Amino acid sequence: MNVKCRLCLKKAPLCNSHVIPEFFYKQMNLYSGEGGEIHRFNILSTNPNKKPAFKQKGIHEKLLCKQCEEKFSKWENYARRVLYGGECLEIIKDVPGVLSCKVDYEKFKLFQLSILWRVGISTYEGFSSVKLGNHENVLREMLYNEAPGSAETYGFVNFHLTKHTDITSNAIHCMGSDYNGIPCALIMLGGSFWIFFLSEISIDSRLSEYFLQENGYLRTLMDKAPNALNGYIESLVKDIYNANHGHLDRLGKNNQM
């Protein structure tokens, strides 16, 4: 029986759509087994009552029809080449502690918005703290119409924290939060921390200057994150360890099976 695609809202057979693009799992070596052929990864919780678990081929749900899945795929393919090689980029070194490059604004912004939207509509418990509210349909229409909006519309800041590379490069984590009263989604992904602002209006110019700009200017802040973000990561690691250390030996043994 056909149900509505979450993007185009048309009834059609739905694909097993990845909430987080699968290339992240592969590039981050999150899959277990020799060479990652098993395509299985570990799920850890900060809740001590939840035992570690395994899941196959990333988090996926019946979300998109084939046509909409292909729409997202073209943005994902472009972003994968930008992030992991294969796309010719102009690297700009104009500010200490900031890595800048020029990308295709439309493709990369829509790629980022697609992740934000998918995390927000996902039924997976690990993403449940990201609440889109009325922004869900606004983002859906932007993605369906392939309209990335202005730089300040759902802008995001990208932090790369070398102090915590061993953590951010080996985990995917999402959390709802706020900044000066503006709701945010914090997504730890691909070795970086992306902070999405759920706002269609201008915010603090000290941050919005680091948003992806309409001229394609993408900035990554290297070790310039607020102290609160560093503290959050350290606290998260402690909570995960405390909740799971009793199961880690068993988890490691299962991982070798």
pLDDT, tens digit, 9 for 90 and up, residues 169-215: 677 888 888 877 888 898 888 778 888 999 866 566 777 888 999 99
Binned at pLDDT 50, 70 and 90, residue 236 comes out as low
37: buried, middle or exposed (CB in 10 Å: 19+, 13-18, 0-12)?
A: exposed
Give the integer Cα–Cα distance in Å for 236 and 184: 18
Mean pLDDT value of segment 83-111? 87
pLDDT for res 247? 53
Give the integer Cα–Cα distance in Å for 204 and 198: 13
pLDDT for res 6? 97
Q: How confident is the prediction for the chain on average, in pLDDT?
A: 79
Q: Is residue 210 helix, strand or coil? A: coil
pLDDT for res 99? 86
The reported pTM is: 0.79
91: buried, middle or exposed (CB in 10 Å: 19+, 13-18, 0-12)?
A: exposed
Please choose, from the candidates 56, 54, 107, the residue with its C-alpha nearest in 3D space to the C-alpha of residue 83: 107
Please choose, from the candidates 122, 126, 111, the residue with its C-alpha nearest in 3D space to the C-alpha of residue 42: 126
Q: Is residue 165 helix, strand or coil? A: helix
For residue 155, is pLDDT > 60?
A: yes
Question: pLDDT higher for 222 or 167?
Answer: 222
In angstroms and rounded to an integer, the radius of gyration of the C-alpha atoms of the chain is: 18
Give the integer Cα–Cα distance in Å for 69 and 17: 7
Contact 236, 164 (CB under 8 A): no
Q: What are the pLDDT digits (tens) for 21-59?
A: 888 877 655 444 444 444 444 554 555 556 555 455 667
Q: What is the CB neighbour count within 10 angstroms for residue 166?
A: 10
65-74, 127-136, 140-149: segment of lowest average pLDDT? 127-136
- Say which residues have a Cβ less than 8 Å from residue 249's Cβ, sequence separation at least 6: none
